[in-house]
Amino acid sequence: MKHHEVEILDAKTREKLCFLDKVEPHATIADIKNMFTKSHPQWYPARQSLRLEPKGRSLKDEDILQNLPVGTTATLYFRDLGAQVSWVTVFLTEYAGPLVIYLLFYFRVPFIYGPKYDFITSRHSVVHLACICHSFHYIKRLLETLFVHRFSHGTMPFRNIFKNCMYYWGFAAWMAYYINHPLYTPPAFGEHQVKLAVIIFLFCQLGNFSIHIALRNLRPAGSKTRKIPFPTRNPFTWLFLLVSCPNYTYEVGSWMGFALMTQCLPVALFSLVGFIQMTIWAKGKHRSYLKEFRDYPRLRSPIVPFVL
């Protein structure tokens, strides 16, 4: 068996960081990262980005050395991704925050609305219903993170956790402040509007959960296998016939229902910002599906059927 030599250079300075001798041709990028860590322990595998060009794309961990466009002496370029944190930790932190923050406003703890209203519950039933729906949503997300989601990437940059938490926690506080405010007024069309909103919210929550289960079943545990998602016997998954990311479609629908239920401007703005962000993600995933699978259904749109 003919072995390879791998030279690893700093992508910025071109300084030689490591030289690996007698690397087996069927070694993966993940194997090379582990070898590199032995000489540079401060750069653990999740922190490494190895690429063929200084400004090229990062190679995947499962890429095999002999399949790359390199000779028996390969030059790879290293870039430090910075401190990493697991996706599970990020999601748990993101979702636990809004759950707790909202409840602080709901129970009207001291120093929020003034001593006169400390621990005095609202007289409007929609306020209590909104708290139940909001709590249900984030408890569902926490449980899905622990028991449903399978992540293709194990980590993300540690700095991102602050940005993500500011978004979720900040909007949760803004929404909760107005919905639980002593001067809050119920929706203009009363119970009929609230009932319709609850139906939309629950329908979309069930749909979102159904899509997450379907996506989970596509990927065996410990695998990074990607397959085309198709509808199952569950009617909520039939939206796969029309969009690539129905989990985002249902998520946006849930927040639209919550906005209709509370008739609160901060909720509407959160729904709009979330829709914009999820549209960007959905378009990216849609492009990836089209690029990776030649037989990918052309009828599908990224997030909104026939529109977007």
Domain edges within the chain:
4-82, 84-139+155-179, 187-307
CA dihedral 269, 273, 274, 277 (to 10 degrees): 170
Cα separation, 116 vs 272, whole angstroms:
34
Residue 119 has what pLDDT? 86
Cα separation, 38 vs 48, whole angstroms:
13
CATH number of 4-82: 3.10.20.90
Q: Which residues of the chain have pLDDT under 70?
A: 1, 222-224
Residue 1 has what pLDDT? 61
Residue 154 has what pLDDT? 76
Cα-based distances in Å from 129 to 49, 123, 197, 260, 278: 47, 12, 11, 13, 26
Residue 174 has what pLDDT? 97
Residue 222 has what pLDDT? 66
